[in-house]
Amino acid sequence: MSLETDLLLDRRRLKRRLNFWRVGAVIAVVAALLAGAKGAGLAPGGAHIARVTVDGLITEDRKLTEAIDDLAGDNSVKAVIVSINSPGGSVSGGETMHDAITRVAAKKPVVAVMRGLAASAGYMIAVPANRIYAREATLTGSIGVLLETGEVSGLLNKVGISAEVVRSGPLKDEPSLVRPLSPEGKVVLQGLVNDMYDQFVGMVAEGRHMDEAKIRPLADGRPYTGRQALALGLVDAIGGEREAKDWLAAEKGISATLPIEDLQTSGFARQALSGQLNVMFQGLWKMLISQSLSLDGPLAIWQRSGN
């Protein structure tokens, strides 16, 4: 074995040992950062106001529902702000989140803050709050239930395709993509929609402390601006998160100096490594590990010569 080969092998062994200690140093630095962040109050644990952010379509989200439920028993959470920007979503998804927020509101103050849009199921999840804020131009309301389906039998007839359906009962395949909705099927589906609509109206009446007879004329599916909703009693005030904090301080005795922390559905270590600490970790990794490892990697093949 040549002297040059021995030197190369020794160099590789030294690099492996050095990399081992570098990895250990990175792990130690990250652990210290996490511990320091927690001690400085950056990690969950200190007294704070929790912010539940709901963006986009509302569907059943088990992790989010469980995280909201946990707020009720978390003594470090002094109040909850539900920040909504949603056009709505599934009735079951809205109902699930509505019920979870209701359970929290039974234990501690909850304020809903509507941003650009809080309609249909987006309004449904706001009504359990002790107070609802909206911007003057917020679109909200749209209290109602919609069930849509497609039907392509006309297209199938034009291309000479027929569909054969074997069913246990005349309503089993209602609605169907391959044949028009029957009168009997429409009656059944209308009954389903009406029942879900009644549930929605009941939620609004209970949350807003209004008679259902007063809610129903407003619940024909139309949206309202925040200003219109205020005049109709569907929201309590015009404003945003700042006004929500002021109200919590004035009416519920929640210190205005408390920080607002976003509700997370993952552990703090994962949050940290996916946020600012991730950038720091990547920088350390590049500095301590990547530059040395690349010498033995494919990049070494493409290095320019010194000539």
Catalytic residues, which ones?
Answer: 120, 172
Q: What is the 3-state secondary structure (H, E, C) of 33-70?
A: HHHHHHHCCCCECECEEEEEEEECCECCCHHHHHHHHH
Amino acid 11 reads R
129: Cβ contacts below 8 Å, ≥ 6 apart: 82, 101, 105, 110, 111, 112, 207
Q: Across the strands, what pairs with 117?
A: 139
Separation between Cα atoms, residue 49 and residue 46, nearest integer Å: 10
Three-state DSSP class for residue 2: coil
Q: How many CA atoms lie within 13 A of 36 on its CB side?
A: 7
Secondary structure in 3-state letters for 106-117: CCCCEEEEEEEE
Collapsed DSSP state (helix, strand, coil) of residue 170: coil
DSSP character at residue 169: S
Place of tokens 């609802």: 132
Bridging pattern class, strands 48-55 and 139-141: unpaired
- Residue 49 in tokens: 């106001």
Q: What DSSP line would sit under 239-268, residue for residue?
A: --HHHHHHHHHHHH---TTSPEEE--SS-H
**195 vs 92: CA distance, rounded Å:** 13
> Which pair of structure tokens corresponds to residue 182?
């029957």
Which residue is associated with the tokens 């989200």?
61
